[in-house]
Amino acid sequence: MEVTGVGIAAFVAFVLAPGLSSVLKSVAFRIRASGKAELLRAGGESTRQLSDGRRAGKRGRRG
């Protein structure tokens, strides 16, 4: 009984492995892309603030 359950679980894992691998690669690509985009946005904001004559890191203060 237990051997049958293990066999079925192994078969399902073997069948779904290629699809799961593709999904994991896609998720990893999206995470890397969002990280790169965030770094580019942060770099653009700091460059823009420095060119305005303001110091970087003072975004929240007013006056």
Please write the tens of the pLDDT for every residue from 3-55.
788 889 888 888 888 888 889 999 999 999 999 999 988 887 776 665 655 55
Kindly report whether the global pTM for this prediction surpasses the value 0.85: no
pLDDT of residue 29: 95
Q: How far is CA 31 from CA 14, 24, 26, 28, in A?
A: 26, 11, 9, 5
